[in-house]
Structure 1
Amino acid sequence: MRLSIQVISAISRGLGVLAAALLFSAVLSVSHMVFVRYALGWSTVWQTEYTAYAIVAATFLGAPWVLIVRGHVNVDILQIAAPAPVRLVMQMLAALASLLFVALLAYAGWVHFEEAWANGWTSETVWAVPLWMPLLPMPVGTVMLALQYVAEIMRLALDGADPVDHEPVLFSDTAEEARP
């Protein structure tokens, strides 16, 4: 079970790196757009659309890594006050509810991606991007987020409730080291 947690977490970290690269490419795209538009006086075709797609892709693909480092919004005032057994139940229920939501989002993302693929949809811009490309990060990111929630549930079952006075660990070699 620990190996599964480590593998899922490693893939999530890899997607986090990909998300960072996409954000960096969006910055480069905007910089290119500004230079081309204002320094050269040319019109732009692809930069705005690419930047929007890259930021959305980074959001979905980076979500599993954000879960690892506990960056998602969390109201934990009751968890802080609760004893460890109650805190464990609360964390399990929160993870299960989140898993259900993310699984539904993954399904909807897949249906939307599959429609764009099957029908050959393209964006209504000069660039005319096949829409399956910018839609693919949604089901990929949400499926990985669901798997990361499964890993989180397994970790809670093995290790018990998280301590309430922890700081997020941004980088580590194993899933166990990422948790205080």
Structure 2
Amino acid sequence: MTDTTRRAEPAAIRAIGQLSTLCGVVAAFMIFASVLITCQMIFLRAVMGRSTVWQTEAVIYLMIGATLLGLPYVQKLRGHVGVDLVPGLLPAGARRVLATIVLGATIVMIGLMLFYGWEMFHLAWERNWRSETVWGVKLWIPYLAVPLGFALFALQLVADLWAVATGHDDADPTVSPEDRRH
């Protein structure tokens, strides 16, 4: 589909896409920070012969947070694992129906993850849970990544579903990124 035949993308879908991109940037910085902390930890242990207190736990929390906060960006890029054999064999209308069903089912599943992630975060907040390490992090801080990541992922999924339902091909999961550029 060329730029002249493609319908204008709604501002809400564009804004959600920008938010998803921001999530990808934040996730990248979290991964970078975890790499720097790991290097510092290796230096302290191997070169200085000292033990570490907070580094391992911080790296674990950063990597989990990066994974969860990166979900909407990966969805925006259509980077999640998918099987395209069946959709490739279907006509365009059937592909749209299949994409709608898959996106709807995914939203329901992510909604469940969001619910239980919120419950876990809320319990940690309410009961002032701390990690059982020397560092003793308040667990609501790393647990916040679970409901936040799944909420942002669900938001991107809803934007994709809306775009598929309204025929905005840029957000149609059945259109490959290469086809969108032509």
TM-score normalised according to structure 2 size = 0.89
**1:121 aligned counterpart, secondary structure:** coil
Contact preservation (8 Å) 1:70, 1:168: no
Contact preservation (8 Å) 1:64, 1:148: yes
Q: Is 2:109 aligned against 1:97?
A: no
Give the match for residue 73 of structure 1.
Answer: 81
Contact preservation (8 Å) 2:99, 2:174: no
Superposed displacement of residue 73, structure 1: 1.0
List runs of 5+ in structure 2 lacking aligned partners: 1-8
C-alpha spacing 1:163/1:19, structure 2 compared with 1 (3 Å) = closer
Query: Percent identity at matched positions?
Result: 39
Give the Cα–Cα distance (whole angstroms) in 2 for the partners of residues 105 and 131 of structure 1: 18
Within a 5 Å distance, the mapping from 1:14-53 to structure 2 comes to: 14-53=22-61
Once superposed, what is the RMSD of the aligned Cα atoms? 1.9
Letter in structure 2 aligned against 1:123: S
Superposed displacement of residue 98, structure 1: 0.4
- Equivalent position to 2:162, from 132, 136, 154: 154
Q: Is 2:66 aligned against 1:58?
A: yes
Superposed displacement of residue 167, structure 1: 3.6
Q: How many residues align?
A: 172
Give the Cα–Cα distance (whole angstroms) in 2 for the partners of residues 107 and 166 of structure 1: 32
Deviation per residue, 1:104-127 (Å, 9 max, x gap): 101100000000000000000000
Give the match for residue 84 of structure 1.
Answer: 92
**2:67 aligned counterpart, secondary structure:** helix
C-alpha spacing 1:168/1:19, structure 2 compared with 1 (3 Å) = farther
C-alpha spacing 1:165/1:96, structure 2 compared with 1 (3 Å) = closer
C-alpha spacing 1:168/1:12, structure 2 compared with 1 (3 Å) = farther
Q: Is 2:179 aligned against 1:166?
A: no
Give the match for residue 117 of structure 1.
Answer: 125
Superposed displacement of residue 8, structure 1: 1.1
List runs of 5+ in structure 1 lacking aligned partners: 170-176
Superposed displacement of residue 10, structure 1: 1.1
Superposed displacement of residue 160, structure 1: 5.9
Letter in structure 2 aligned against 1:13: T
